[in-house]
Chain A
Amino acid sequence: MGALKLDINFINPFIEGVLTTLDTQCSVKAKTGKLFLRGNGTEITPAIAAMIGLTSPVFQGSIGLSFPESTFLKVMGGMLGEEYKEINKDLEDGAGELLNIIFGCAKRVLNDKNYNIDKAIPTIVRGSGLSVTYVGKTAAMILPFTSSVGDFQLEIMIVAH
């Protein structure tokens, strides 16, 4: 296995998915920062992360969407129309649903370009200052976002078959 060149055509649908989904479903305006390799930039301290596996005939990997607690509670408040003080089971499901929608947006665009990405189900990781470590030699690419409700980040890890 080797690292797959992460070109902008692959990443853009995920960026568009994040921006569109947060705006449309959560009334949150976000902006992208500069992409960096894990270890070469400043990351947020996440309280919750939604992860989803990427499987296709040509590569495998994962994407993860991570939020600090205060940002996440506001994103969920926008999505569900209620004010939240703490992360509960419904909100954990909400994190999964959010990533599922983003994944669906990106998958549609990428599969139109013959990436043939399979369906996948998100998993949720919680904890104060959690750190996600990928097995393998390829480090995750981190795409930071700023938004009207705080910072968050998208993590992308792709390995070619």
Chain B
Amino acid sequence: MFPPNTKVLIIDDMRTMRMIVKKTLVGAGFTNITEADDGATAWPLLEQALASGSPFDLILSDWNMPQLSGLELLRRVRTHVRLKNTPFLMITAETEKTQIMEAAKLGVSSYIPKPFTQQIVVEKLEAVYKKITAAKSAA
């Protein structure tokens, strides 16, 4: 599993949903959590953290947001030479097949469908962490 000090960025334009996600992550033991209220706010935070030598280790993003959607942010992250391997999970009520395929094509790490429990979130994070660890071992 991701260690408790994993640097996490939560992105959602609804403060209440950020509160729910943060509460869930804190409950799962995470201690280093930053919030952004949409993709446009998140992008400079990601770049600044990278430039400071302390990049985010994990991104949990909403899908539908003004200015820069979760999908567009995912596209930017996956095409950035140094951010492209950052685990990126979508937290969304949009789980129709066509949309899942769209995000999968862009390289989303996993989905957390709404509604969710802490257990669901932990299971999704564990699966992503295992995949990353296996890929690193194979490299």
Total contacting residues, chain A, CB less than 8 A: 23
- Neighbour of A93 across the interface among B16, B64, B92, B93, CB < 8 A: B16
Q: Which B residues between 78 and 100 are near A, CB-CB below 8 angstroms?
A: 92-97
Number of A-B contacts defined by CB within 8 Å: 53
| Nearest chain B residue, comparing its CB with the CB of A27 | B117
Q: Which residues of B contact A25 (CB under 8 A)?
A: 20, 114-116
CB <8 Å contact, B96 and A119: no
CB <8 Å contact, A20 and B115: yes
- Neighbour of A90 across the interface among B19, B64, B114, CB < 8 A: B19
| Nearest chain A residue, comparing its CB with the CB of B24 | A81
CA A81 to CA B92, docked complex, whole Å? 20
A21-B115, A24-B117 given; A104·B14 CB < 8 A: no
CA A136 to CA B56, docked complex, whole Å? 52
CB <8 Å contact, B115 and A93: no
CA A91 to CA B15, docked complex, whole Å? 10
Q: Which residues of A contact B94 (CB under 8 A)?
A: 104, 119
A79-B20, A97-B17 given; A103·B115 CB < 8 A: no
CA A112 to CA B15, docked complex, whole Å? 30
- Neighbour of B96 across the interface among A20, A90, A94, A111, CB < 8 A: A111
The smallest beta-carbon distance between B71 and chain A, in angstroms, is 13
CB <8 Å contact, A108 and B95: yes
CA A62 to CA B91, docked complex, whole Å? 25
CB <8 Å contact, B15 and A90: yes
Report which residue of A21, A91, A93 has the largest number of chain B beta carbons within 10 angstroms of its beta carbon: A93
Q: Which B residues between 12 and 30 are near A, CB-CB below 8 angstroms?
A: 14-17, 19-20, 23
Q: Which residues of A contact B19 (CB under 8 A)?
A: 80-81, 90
Q: Which residues of B contact A79 (CB under 8 A)?
A: 16, 20
A80-B16, A80-B19, A93-B15 given; A103·B93 CB < 8 A: yes
Q: Which residues of A contact B17 (CB under 8 A)?
A: 97
Q: Which residues of A contact B (CB under 8 A)?
A: 20-21, 24-25, 79-81, 90-91, 93-94, 96-97, 100-101, 103-105, 107-108, 111-112, 119
Add 9 more A-B contacts to A20-B115, A104-B93, A112-B96 (CB < 8 A).
A24-B117, A25-B115, A80-B16, A80-B19, A80-B20, A90-B15, A105-B93, A107-B96, A108-B95
Q: Which residues of B contact A (CB under 8 A)?
A: 14-17, 19-20, 23, 64, 92-97, 114-117
